[in-house]
Structure 1
Amino acid sequence: MPLSEYEQRVLEQMERQLTSDDPRLASTLQSRGSRGIARWVIAGAGFTVGLLVLVAGAAFSQLWLGVIGFLLMFAAGVFAFALPRQSGPIGVVDAKGGVAPRSAAKPKKAAGGFMHRFEERWDRRRDEGR
């Protein structure tokens, strides 16, 4: 069933708000669908082989074989969920089309640290909701 016009407007508004509030999260969520099926097939095969090796290690009472199986399973999981490497210029493209060095792209850390920033965001969101 397609969305109504009102639901489409609300969804677009939520997307714009997410992009303005946290652009890094929005770009991460948009790039998630770009993974190829081959990556998942390789990870699934690696996980299956690791599981078989782990079970064989348990069946033959060989600890080292079980450890190798577990490491294969872990590596397959990391491969499946790790972000693919980005190609292209390293850094941030500015408004003029130039590439700024990566060090210029990182914002300065707040004086209060993580918890201070977290509390500020919480207070700001709570105040916006009123």
Structure 2
Amino acid sequence: MPLSEYEQRVLEQLENDLGSDPKLGHAMARGQKSRAHLTWAVFGVVAGLGVVLAGAMTQITALGIAGFAVMLAAAIWGITGGNTASAAKKREPRASDAAGPAPKPTATKDGKGFMGRVEERFERRRDEGNL
């Protein structure tokens, strides 16, 4: 079902508002994790598990707790840190940043924008019975 003109305007307004919020853009920016970072994180989790097992076999509670802490810290570090586009690397402002929000993408060569292509795919899937 195609969107009404009002719904399309509201959707465009929401997209513009989301694109202009620098805090949201920074929070949602995700880079690809580096292989070395993930390797060290997995190594830390395995080492922590080894310490937990050693603590369990020797019945030293403090050693088991320390191993669990190492495992937890390595897992959190592996999940949250290590993006290649990390916030620690400050990027220099571009000329396009000062000009304001980025221009809206134009329609493709066939004259249909994103929503037109989505609607067309939906119609085709519905007609084929793959919905």
TM-score band w.r.t. shorter chain = 0.3 to 0.5
TM-score by length of 1: 0.47
Question: Where is the helix percentage greater, Structure 1 or Structure 2?
Answer: 1
Rg bigger for which structure?
A: 2
TM-score by length of 2: 0.47
